[in-house]
Amino acid sequence: MSGLAGRHGDRSTPWYSLLSRAKRILPGESLLGGSGADVMIDRTIINRARLEELTARERTRFAVAHPASMRAFDSAGQHLLGGVPMTWMRRWPGGFPLYLATAHGARVTDIDGNIFADFSLGDSGAMTGHSPAQVQAAVAERYGELGGGTAMLPTVDAEWAAAELHRRFGAVHWSFTLSATDANRWALRIARQLTRRPKVAVFSYCYHGGVDDSIIIASPHGPRSRPGNTGAPVDPVLTSRVAEFNDVDALERELACGDVAALLMEPAMTNVGIVLPDPGYLAAVRQLTREHGTLLINDETHTFSAGPGGCTMAWGLDPDVVTIGKAIGGGIAAGAFGLSAPLAERIMAGETADLIDTGGIGGTLAGNALSVAAVRATLEHVLTADAFEVMIGLADRYAAGIAQVIESRGMPWNVVRLGARAEYRFCRRPPRTGGESHAAADPALDAYLHLYLVNRGVLLTQFRNMALMCPATTDADVDAHTALFAQAVDDLVG
């Protein structure tokens, strides 16, 4: 994928302080990132009793403002496991989820008629904004007018979409899936097949979907299955190696064992808070993986926020495989993985890999006509380079507003931005590793802020306080969030 190398310049200064902030937009940056300061939460600054009291107040307000959602949730437990269509939908600090009525652009309306500025955007699945007109039209045409949502026959949209993914992410040959999880699973199978090596490597506290091999963490006592790993088919310690992000020596130690087929990574971690790579780190990762014969898989599912070709394009990366999902379907289930030309040639020529029947790669509806039509419309008309410029500008405004609030109130917190995505954390300096970031979590504070905002018309992802901009987000949405954030902080410590 060398064609993309250096296209968007180097990123040798990814972090910069608020005071010296240049106007130019960098794809990833941390505001207020003081060096040498603590990454542990300073709990003394928050009165915990006050936090509890305010959270209880917000929870009551949440219940009062959402009676229809509460009723729907209360009566949904009979036949839905956990009372929700998917068990993670229970994870709402208000005690029950909002029920969706409508969603367009950057707006969501619940069944009580409350309208929200949506910065959650389906945890990236709706990075396009909800139901953008061009994807609606493509889906309506494919499913309605033309028919044949899934006929197990290719459509010409697929080659168009693959060529566009190549132009953006460098990988030459692409296959489609229905989720990022499947893209990762199948990329790992191909890596194991090609290298004939048994293990994969990941970073501690990564998330790549329900990929068995990746649910592992590093600990002072060595690698271990991540707590809560449900019904693991095999202990991931047997299938995987794990290192902390930004620790070159630890990665080298793992790869030097010589049994690692692939390193599966996000170029910046996004699922344990945003953890940006140190300057030079990704180049070291590429060099180490090459030296040790390990394939490098960039999972761009969330880091797509960095620009039209994700971090791969924005930072001139050169992975062997790229995986992606969520946003590329504009809200319709879609995912994809792309291989470099030599890898594609080898896997297609391999005589022992069954790629067309029951060899473990493939899903009946994968690459279906509807899904691929949505991917084409998304890439052709919605998540364009122009759209990213707007979205990144909005995230810049968002992060600067948060940084100003943090600084003016003297809070030992920080805000990090990755293209169109930004997140505030409750420690002075942005964590450098997944382990650090995990330890810096403050679920009580997350819950308070989430509820405070949702009660006043702003929706952040319920998993943490991460915000994503879509092309329909407005300056006014961003400023409304900043004002509420300031108010929430003042209520807490003012």
Ligand X SMILES: Cc1ncc(COP(=O)(O)O)c(C=O)c1O
How many CA atoms, within 13 angstroms, populate the side-chain half-sphere of residue 391? Answer: 33
Q: How far is the CB of 188 from ligand X (least distance, A)?
A: 12
E strand or H helix at 140:
helix 133-140
Residue 13, beta-bridge partner list: none
Task: Name the one range near ligand X by CB under 6 A: 99-107, 296-304, 345-353, 408-416.
Answer: 296-304
Nearer to ligand X, 361 or 489 (CB): 361
Nearer to ligand X, 414 or 461 (CB): 461
Q: How far is the CB of 400 from ligand X (least distance, A)?
A: 25
* Distant-in-sequence, close-in-space partners of 381: CB < 8 Å, separation ≥ 6: 132, 134, 135
- By CB under 6 A, residue 423 contacts ligand X: no
**Which of 15, 207, 245, 448 contacts ligand X by CB under 6 A?**
207
Distance CA 490, CA 387 (A): 34
Interaction residues for ligand X, span 75-134 (CB under 6 A): 123
| 444, 434 contact by CB (below 8 A) | no
**Which of 30, 114, 120, 271 contacts ligand X by CB under 6 A?**
271
- By CB under 6 A, residue 213 contacts ligand X: no
**Which of 110, 254, 266, 477 contacts ligand X by CB under 6 A?**
266
Nearer to ligand X, 285 or 400 (CB): 285
Nearer to ligand X, 180 or 361 (CB): 180
Any idea what the Cα angle at residue 484 is, between residues 478 and 489, rounded to 5°? Answer: 125
Residue type, 430: P
Nearest Cα neighbor of 180 from 306, 326, 370 is 326
- By CB under 6 A, residue 429 contacts ligand X: no
Task: Name the one range near ligand X by CB under 6 A: 187-195, 202-210, 406-414, 481-489.
Answer: 202-210
Residue 439, CA distances (Å) to 212, 284, 434 in order: 23, 26, 9
- By CB under 6 A, residue 209 contacts ligand X: yes
| 282, 288 contact by CB (below 8 A) | no
Task: Name the one range near ligand X by CB under 6 A: 42-50, 201-209, 437-445, 482-490.
Answer: 201-209
Q: How far is the CB of 207 from ligand X (least distance, A)?
A: 5
Q: How far is the CB of 481 from ligand X (least distance, A)?
A: 22
Residue nearest to ligand X (CB): 209
- By CB under 6 A, residue 434 contacts ligand X: no
String of b and e for 266-277 (b: at least 16 CB within 10 Å)?
Answer: bbbbbbbbbbbb
- By CB under 6 A, residue 301 contacts ligand X: yes
Distance CA 299, CA 268 (A): 10
**Which of 30, 181, 193, 298 contacts ligand X by CB under 6 A?**
181
E strand or H helix at 237:
helix 236-239
Q: How far is the CB of 334 from ligand X (least distance, A)?
A: 9
- By CB under 6 A, residue 302 contacts ligand X: yes
- By CB under 6 A, residue 338 contacts ligand X: no
Strand segments (E) across 97-206: 100-104, 107-110, 115-118, 173-177, 199-203
Distance CA 434, CA 126 (A): 25
| 387, 472 contact by CB (below 8 A) | no
- By CB under 6 A, residue 142 contacts ligand X: no
Distance CA 235, CA 246 (A): 25
Nearer to ligand X, 170 or 267 (CB): 267
The residue whose two tokens read 């296959």 is 175
**Which of 254, 299, 318, 477 contacts ligand X by CB under 6 A?**
299
- By CB under 6 A, residue 432 contacts ligand X: no
E strand or H helix at 323:
strand 321-324
Nearer to ligand X, 179 or 294 (CB): 179
**Which of 208, 226, 425, 481 contacts ligand X by CB under 6 A?**
208
**Which of 267, 308, 325, 401 contacts ligand X by CB under 6 A?**
325
Residues contributing to the site for ligand X (CB under 6 A): 123, 179-181, 184, 207-209, 266, 271, 299, 301-302, 325-326
